[in-house]
Amino acid sequence: MCGPGAAVPGSNVHTSTRGAFMNHPQLPLGLALRDSARFASFFPGPNAEAVRCLQLAAVGEGETLVFLSGDTGLGKTHLLQAACHEAARREHAAAYLPLNELKSLSPELFDEMEAMQLLCIDDVDAIAGLPEWEAGLFHLFNRTRESGSRLLITGSGHVDRLGIKLPDLVSRLGWGVTYTLKPIDNDSVHMALMHRARSRGLELPEETAAFLLKRIPRDLPSVFTLLDRLDEASMVEQRRLTIPFVKAVLDEIC
Amino acid sequence: MSLWQKCLVRLENELPEQQFNTWIRPLHAVEAADSLQLLAPNQFVLDWVKKHHFNTISRTLHDLGQNVTPRIQLDIGSTNKTPATGVITPGNRVPERPVPGQYKSNLNGDFTFETFVGGKSNQLARAASIQVGENPGGAYNPLFIYGGVGLGKTHLMHAVGNLILEHKPDARVIYLHSERFVADMVKALQHNAINEFQRFYRTVDALLIDDIQFFAGKERSQEEFFHTFNALLEGQQQVILTCDRYPKEVTGLEERLKSRFGWGLTAAIEPAELETRVAILMSKAAQSNTELPDDVAFFIAKHIQSNIRELEGALRRVMASARFTGRPIDLEFTREALRDLLALQDKLVTTENIQKVVAEYYKIRVSDLLSPRRSRTITRPRQIAMSLGKELTSHSLPEIGNAFGGRDHTTVLHACRKVAELRDSDARINEDYKNLLRTLTT
């Protein structure tokens, strides 16, 4: 079995996939190694309604507050980054705030952020129990009500279950539309793999995909990380993704 | 494509996407022939960009500008010069000089008495608020509204402001959250504009400050607010305050402020009862031109009891799902749309959980609740726990009886009736019941 990849779709926790595979050290030209987090590269599966809601909110339509919950690896980060990109395409000011990474800094980061038309706040659980951050987010929330900014917020579960101590903040998080991202089933993982391969111009025969899914964990981060590696290996080796070739790559990296 | 736009395309490809979206995307560029001003939303972002990304930006611009690098200047600012509501307070006009007479209310026009759903839980606060709206600066000054989160305090406050404006359109009614008052004061101090700050807040006709519990521990702000408050009351200008608890219970607030808050009228808002929650849902749905069947409103209201914001959140989700799927809103559809939300609630409220919480509340043991003992100190909590079980879970009467030491369903029925009767006749029991309900549903 392959170990699951470290990167969730679209995250920037880059596992270095640049390097030599097998016997030929020739590097590809750094093309298409990163799947940008876009709505088009997200396989909606059972989450089509949530995705549509985010797409609209990103460009200033529909809901003004969306809370997206769900387990790690379902694509919350991907969707928020896609929303930022979409907003920027319409020249809407947008910011992405991953609280898990930013909590070591200062809640002053929230100052005047209500000037953004779209604020994407990832991993709100990260600041649960940190009074200054909780109050900072609560105040930012109130200011966005006046400025009219849209807020897209993610967390691991229902707002009541995040461990946030400030009840004022909890009640505000529950004010908007809440969606829980659902994991996708096996057939959908297959479809997602084909979808991702197509979206990056990679020819992945059906039988190779079926072979792959028998050999690796069927969660999307693992599947997509592996696809990155296969893409690169196929470029380095100038080989098509046949079953023998994929098997050789898997043997090499697992 | 402008030079900055080209730079963005390049940086988007070079930097990790997350970093780009966090630090570079929020920058707003003002381009001139030989200079580029980059506006960061705040000092923190500015310092970070300066330290971590300035060289990359500079190099990229140099490459793109065919070796002619524009002068880059990093500042704080944004395109939105004024908030959408257009209120002009000393905080957002500093350091510019104030323009005499320039004023625009920042009240939310949707928060009126017409859209406020009255019920038993808010009738005193609502009646007092209407009085104040009709006669600002009169007997009820200050008006102090308190209650838990999401029960409608802010709505009432805006409704008073809107009513004052209806009677006197040129009245200067200022609504702000306590945090804004603090921030304005800090800015005024920084810019040596405290006199303007004082003049501004002391010359309004009505000052509405939300969530004053956030003044706790901020001594300088409390001092300033104390003087503002006195000046307004002396001038018979109306002050309305909201808080999450009774004034005396706010820790970190000066005694003299607490006592002054009690000078006018203090009114509580309680969690809305089922019928009011249903009426709120119907009203919100009507405002969105959505037809909400009665059974659906009852279904949502029965399951979401914590506060009105969550109630609204659930309704929004149902309406959003109906729009997306094109299906009519009926009970089955609603159950489906709210499945995740309700699953969590059901998980939270179990008979075991109710027994545990009630036992803790009355300082008895869970085993007492399940035992055959019939002393008053045990019977009453047991009846309350059974009644809560009926209200909060979907268990049948026999199931509940069974969970309480194998009692008969008629015992449960009797308990529910008894508790309903006691809640009407005994304020303490009613208070206990509401506290338990709140603990179990929030």
For chain B, report the end-to-end CA distance as a whole number of angstroms: 51
- Identify whether A29 is part of a domain: no
Is residue A46 domain-shared with residue A105, that is, in the same domain? yes
Tokens 């769900």 -> residue: A70
pLDDT tens by residue, B367-390: 999 998 889 899 999 999 999 998
Is residue A149 domain-shared with residue A217, that is, in the same domain? no
Residue contact B149–A101, C-beta within 8 A: no
Residue contact A88–B25, C-beta within 8 A: yes
- Phi, psi angle pair for B158, to nearest 5°: -65, -40
- Identify whether A172 is part of a domain: yes
Q: Which residues of B touch A161 (CB under 8 A)?
A: 344
Is residue A62 domain-shared with residue A144, that is, in the same domain? yes
Q: What is the structure's pLDDT at A254?
A: 65
Total domains, chain A: 2
Is residue A209 domain-shared with residue A150, that is, in the same domain? no
- Identify whether A17 is part of a domain: no
Flag whether pLDDT at B305 surpasses 60.
Answer: yes
Residue contact A11–B211, C-beta within 8 A: no
Specify the 3-state DSSP secondary structure of B263: coil
Residue contact A171–B306, C-beta within 8 A: yes
**For the domain that residue A203 is a member of, what is the CATH number?**
1.10.8.60
Flag whether pLDDT at B282 surpasses 90.
Answer: yes
pLDDT tens by residue, B2-13: 889 999 999 998
- Kindly report the nearest CA distance between residue B356 and chain A, in angstroms: 19
Flag whether pLDDT at B88 surpasses 60.
Answer: no
Is residue A120 domain-shared with residue A218, that is, in the same domain? no
- Identify whether A216 is part of a domain: yes
Is residue A66 domain-shared with residue A80, that is, in the same domain? yes
Core vs surface per residue B392-415: b (16+ CB within 10 A) or e: bbebebeebbbbbeebeeebbeeb
Least CB-CB distance to A171: which of B18, B310, B316?
Answer: B310
Is residue A173 domain-shared with residue A221, that is, in the same domain? no
> How many whole angstroms separate alpha carbon B372 and alpha carbon B435?
26
Is residue A191 domain-shared with residue A172, that is, in the same domain? no
- Kindly report the nearest CA distance between residue B188 and chain A, in angstroms: 16
Angle formed at CA B383 by CA B382 and CA B384, multiple of 5 degrees: 90
Burial of B39 (0-12, 13-18, 19+ CB in 10 A): buried
- Identify whether A123 is part of a domain: yes
pLDDT tens by residue, A71-110: 888 889 999 999 999 999 999 999 999 999 999 999 999 9
A&B contacts, CB < 8 Å: 142
Last residue of some domain: A180, A202, A222? A180
Q: What is the structure's pLDDT at B323?
A: 94
- Identify whether A3 is part of a domain: no
By CA distance, what is A177's nearest residue in B? Answer: B317
Flag whether pLDDT at A4 surpasses 80.
Answer: no
Cα A46 to Cα A42, A231, A241, B348, distances in angstroms: 12, 27, 28, 26
Q: What is the structure's pLDDT at A23?
A: 40
Percent of chain B with pLDDT over 90: 66
- Identify whether A170 is part of a domain: yes
pLDDT tens by residue, B93-110: 433 333 434 556 789 999
More confident residue, A16 or A93: A93
Flag whether pLDDT at A15 surpasses 60.
Answer: no
**For the domain that residue A160 is a member of, what is the CATH number?**
3.40.50.300
Q: Which residues of A touch B48 (CB under 8 A)?
A: 105
Predicted model pTM? 0.75
Q: What is the structure's pLDDT at A18?
A: 32
Specify the 3-state DSSP secondary structure of B245: coil
Last residue of some domain: A130, A157, A180? A180
B106 to chain A, any CB pair closer than 8 A? The answer is yes
- Identify whether A109 is part of a domain: yes
Last residue of some domain: A180, A200, A227? A180
- Kindly report the nearest CA distance between residue B385 and chain A, in angstroms: 22
Is residue A81 domain-shared with residue A100, that is, in the same domain? yes
B190 to chain A, any CB pair closer than 8 A? The answer is no
Least CB-CB distance to A97: which of B8, B22, B344?
Answer: B22
Is residue A141 domain-shared with residue A215, that is, in the same domain? no
Is residue A76 domain-shared with residue A200, that is, in the same domain? no
> How many whole angstroms separate alpha carbon B356 and alpha carbon A51?
40
Beta strands in A55-193 (DSSP E): 65-69, 94-98, 118-122, 150-155, 177-180
| Partners of B143 in beta bridges | B240, B265
Mean confidence (pLDDT) of chain B: 88
B399 to chain A, any CB pair closer than 8 A? The answer is no
Residue range of the domain that includes A206? 186-253
Is residue A210 domain-shared with residue A153, that is, in the same domain? no
Q: What is the structure's pLDDT at A162?
A: 86
- Phi, psi angle pair for A75, to nearest 5°: 110, 20
Q: What does the pLDDT average to over B290-311?
A: 92
pLDDT tens by residue, A159-185: 887 889 898 999 999 999 999 998 877
